[in-house]
């Protein structure tokens, strides 16, 4: 693993950082306050190649690597976690599985516009009774006499759902086979029978709209299937492995925002006749935040490197995700403490970081699930 970034990676990082600082950060508080999908920022990310960072140029992407994607995600999420996760879902949960498992026709039809930002995607795996237990799918795709599929069911907490154009959908095609009877489809969100519920009212990442999706006898042709029948669980798990790298990167961004905002505040806020940065109690908090952030970043870069090398990275992605998300939450908590009473009001950014941080321990696999993944890999060795 190379710890020195390439010139190309540095360029991606600088592009994302400049955009985040000049265009995203000034709008972050308003986006959160109004629960607003930042359509204009998504369009700008598309222009900058950030909606398909690691997708080859022939399929509409920027043609960079996963490390570049991680760098860009951290920069965007440092400014606005909501904007970061919109980018993450399109890259990790939509473009990536279509690139890996899609037919050439599907790549041309869907991947090109998704990776270039002409379309926005979502990923539908979770259900009212299938969250951590992803194999407990109740959404069913029944094959008809003419060979098409009729799909019925409900999907929960679908990030980008209210604003998405296309969905990577996971559902049952052969219930009697258990997880081996799960398949994946590419679903146009305008398809007849697709109903989108109202946006969820959330604690954090309020600008990232999510919702329930209701599927009422949605008719799809066999050409809409991603991979082969029965490949859905494998596709979902492989997709989540990559997605966890994206969420680890989002957590890095939130943790860094917490640290940087705390540093700036600690230099200005004075108690007992001196800046609070000169109090040892505050210094130790800052030191722990910075140290843990660096550790989380290295774990995330390692997982991204393994993904680029084409080998297995499930355990490393889980390690990165569980550690980065918990570091993120500790950093946000300490940031509120450093800000004191000011940390508890909307006039200062750390209360937003505190609310945004929690979700990183939950979506794309809870911290408990990450530990099961890690333990399962250890016990195989």
Q: Specify the length of the chain in residues.
A: 381
Three-class SS state of 263: helix
Catalytic residue among 47, 364, 368, 381: 364
CA geometry: angle 276, 278, 283, nearest 5 deg? 85
- 251, 190 Cβ separation under 8 angstroms: no
For residue 266, the surrounding DSSP H or E stretch is helix 232-268
Dist CA 282 CA 115 (whole Å): 43
- How many Å apart are CA 381 and CA 369, to the nearest integer? 19
d(CA 246, CA 324): 11
DSSP character string of 85-120: HHHHIIIIIIIHHHHHH--HHHIIIIIHHHHTTSS-
CA distance 39 to 78: 18
> How many whole angstroms separate alpha carbon 358 and alpha carbon 351?
12
Which residues share a beta bridge with 142?
150
Contacts of 185 (CB under 8 A, 6+ apart): 141, 149, 151, 168, 169, 171, 220, 224, 225, 226
364 in catalytic set: yes
Enumerate the active-site residues: 364
């Amino acid at each position: 693993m190379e710890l020195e970034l390439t010139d190309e990676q540095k360029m991606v990082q600088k592009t994302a950082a400049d955009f985040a600082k000049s265009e995203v950060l000034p709008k972050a508080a308003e986006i959160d306050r109004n629960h607003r999908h930042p359509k204009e920022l998504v369009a700008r990310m598309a222009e900058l190649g950030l909606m398909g960072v690691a997708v080859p140029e022939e399929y509409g992407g920027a043609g960079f690597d996963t490390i570049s994607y991680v760098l860009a995600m951290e920069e965007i999420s440092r400014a606005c976690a909501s904007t970061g996760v919109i980018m993450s879902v399109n890259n990790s949960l939509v473009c990536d599985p279509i690139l890996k498992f899609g037919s050439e026709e599907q790549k041309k039809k869907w991947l090109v516009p998704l990776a270039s930002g002409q379309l926005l995607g979502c990923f539908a795996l979770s259900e009212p009774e299938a969250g951590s237990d992803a194999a407990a799918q109740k959404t069913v795709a029944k094959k008809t006499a003419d060979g098409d599929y009729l799909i019925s069911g409900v999907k929960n907490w679908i990030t980008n759902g209210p604003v998405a154009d296309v969905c990577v959908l996971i559902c049952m095609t052969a219930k009697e086979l258990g997880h081996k009877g799960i398949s994946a489809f590419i679903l146009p969100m305008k398809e007849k029978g697709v109903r989108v519920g109202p946006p969820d009212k959330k604690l954090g990442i309020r600008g990232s709209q999510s919702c329930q999706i209701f599927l009422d006898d949605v008719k799809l042709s066999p050409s809409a299937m991603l991979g082969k029948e029965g490949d859905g669980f494998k596709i979902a798990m492989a997709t989540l492995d990559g997605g966890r790298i994206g969420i680890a990167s989002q957590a890095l961004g939130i943790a860094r925002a917490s640290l940087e905002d705390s540093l700036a505040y600690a230099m200005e806020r004075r108690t007992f006749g001196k800046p609070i940065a000169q109090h040892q109690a505050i210094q130790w908090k800052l030191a722990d935040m910075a140290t843990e952030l660096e550790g989380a970043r290295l774990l995330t870069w390692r997982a991204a490197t393994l993904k680029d090398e084409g080998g297995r990275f499930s355990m490393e992605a889980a390690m990165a995700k569980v550690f980065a998300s918990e570091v993120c939450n500790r950093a946000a908590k300490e940031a509120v403490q450093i800000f004191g009473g000011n940390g508890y009001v909307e006039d200062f950014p750390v209360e937003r970081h505190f609310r945004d941080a929690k979700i990183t321990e939950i979506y794309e696999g809870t911290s408990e699930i990450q530990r099961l993944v890690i333990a399962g890999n250890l016990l195989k060795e």
